[in-house]
Structures are given as C-alpha cells and as structure tokens.
Amino acid sequence: MVLSRGWSLFLVGVGVWTWVIWPRFAVAIWNDPRAWSAGTVGEGSPTGFLWVHALLIAASLAIGTTVGVLGVRGWLAWRRRPSA
C-alpha cells in the first residue's frame, strides 16, 4: 500500500507535533512540586506523579516517532511510484 502525499505529510506533521509538545510537557512535570516527595523541585525521591507522567511522555514520543517515520516512508514511496 502506498499512502497519498497528503496523508504522508499529515503523519509527518503529527510526528513533528509530538516532538514539539511532549518535551515541553516533560519540563513542566519535572518542575512541578507534586513530582517530588519533599515538595520542592529536585529534592527527595520521585513520586508516582512523576513516574506516571514519564511513562505517558515516553509512550507518546515512541508512538509519535513511529507515526512520523511511517509518514516519511509513505512520502518516499509516493515519490518513487511509477508515473501513469
């Protein structure tokens, strides 16, 4: 199956969007006092709040990367298709 050019670009856009949004969210979670047992950023041990969000961020980045790679591969396949 070869994706259309539009769908390929959409998937690449989703991959890029994922890498723009989630790292910023990671910084916000890291700087949240609820992420640390001492209630102060970087002090004490990480709480469940931090671990759950870290897992969510890692999974989202993995999915976004996969979607972006599929978009790039679809774009390349679309460019290589024989002309009609």
Q: How far is Cα 53 from Cα 71, in angstroms, rounded to an integer? A: 27
Predicted confidence (pLDDT) at residue 83 exceeds the cutoff of 80: no
The pLDDT assigned to 3 comes to 85
| CB burial of residue 35 (10 Å; 0-12, 13-18, 19+) | buried
The reported pTM is 0.85
Find where tokens 């469940």 sit.
Answer: 48
Packing angle between helix 5-30 and helix 48-80, nearest 10 degrees? 160
The H or E element spanning position 48 is helix 48-80
End-to-end alpha carbon distance in the chain = 16
pLDDT at site 15:
97
Q: What is the pLDDT of residue 84?
A: 55
- Percent pLDDT > 70 in the chain is 98
